[in-house]
Amino acid sequence: MMNTNETPVILDARGLEPPQPLVVILEALERLPKSAEMRACTDRRPLHLYALLEQRGFTAETEQQNDGSFVTTIRHA
């Protein structure tokens, strides 16, 4: 795990209809500093996002939350 003093960027994409969460996440990642990580909150597991992240040089881990939503932590690879 990367040591970083930066606060994670929190992006809440819940309540959006597909493919909007994916679009919003990818657009926000264009501005993500190399040393930062993003935590993207979505209503569904973002299965279509993983390959796109890998192509762009990111890694991702998704965890289901108690309320049924998902939080995906995204970092530069």
Per-domain residue ranges of the chain? 9-72
Give residue-wise pLDDT tens across range 14-65.
999 999 999 999 999 999 999 999 999 999 999 999 999 999 999 999 999 9
On the question of pLDDT at 67 being above 50, the answer is yes
The neighbouring-strand residues paired with 10 are 39
List Cα–Cα distances, 69 to 33, 50, 64, in angstroms.
Answer: 26, 17, 6
Tell me the chain's radius of gyration from C-alpha atoms: 12
CATH architecture group of domain 9-72: 2-Layer Sandwich (3.30)
Say what the pTM is: 0.91
